[in-house]
């Protein structure tokens, strides 16, 4: 995991390159980032369903705790929180 300074340096380097890129390149980058986001959301859903269906998980976890944990993990991984594709106000039972 990068330090905050390393993250800021990486973001600055990316921004410099983005500001020099052609519009078509920017469109391609946006498409790739959207694909990554979709894939990560799908992976989150798979993990949710795997845990939900695991018979060894016999505890109740409040939905708000699950959302916070996923958001925190994403935040530490990428520095941003993506919208989740889970229903609000639900409890995760198992």
This prediction's pTM: 0.52
Contact between 93 and 58 under an 8 Å Cβ cutoff? The reply is: no
- Give residue-wise pLDDT tens across range 37-67: 999 988 988 888 788 777 776 667 788 888 8
Number of folded domains that form the chain: 1
The token duo for 20 is 């020099």
Neighbours of 57 (CB within 10 A): 14
Judged by average pLDDT, the poorest of 20-24, 39-43, 72-76, 87-91 is 87-91
State which residues form the domain around 16: 4-93
Q: C-alpha distances in angstroms, 81 versus 25, 60, 71, 72, 92?
A: 25, 24, 6, 8, 21
Token pair for 39: 């894939």
């Amino acid at each position: 995991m990068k330090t905050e300074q390393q993250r800021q340096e990486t973001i600055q380097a990316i921004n410099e390159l983005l500001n020099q890129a052609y519009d078509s390149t920017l469109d391609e980058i946006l498409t790739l980032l959207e694909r990554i986001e979709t894939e990560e959301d799908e992976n989150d859903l798979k993990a949710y369903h795997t845990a939900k269906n695991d018979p060894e998980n016999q505890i109740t976890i409040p939905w708000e705790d699950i959302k916070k944990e996923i958001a925190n993990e994403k935040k530490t991984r990428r520095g941003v929180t993506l919208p989740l594709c889970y229903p609000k106000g639900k409890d995760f039972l198992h």
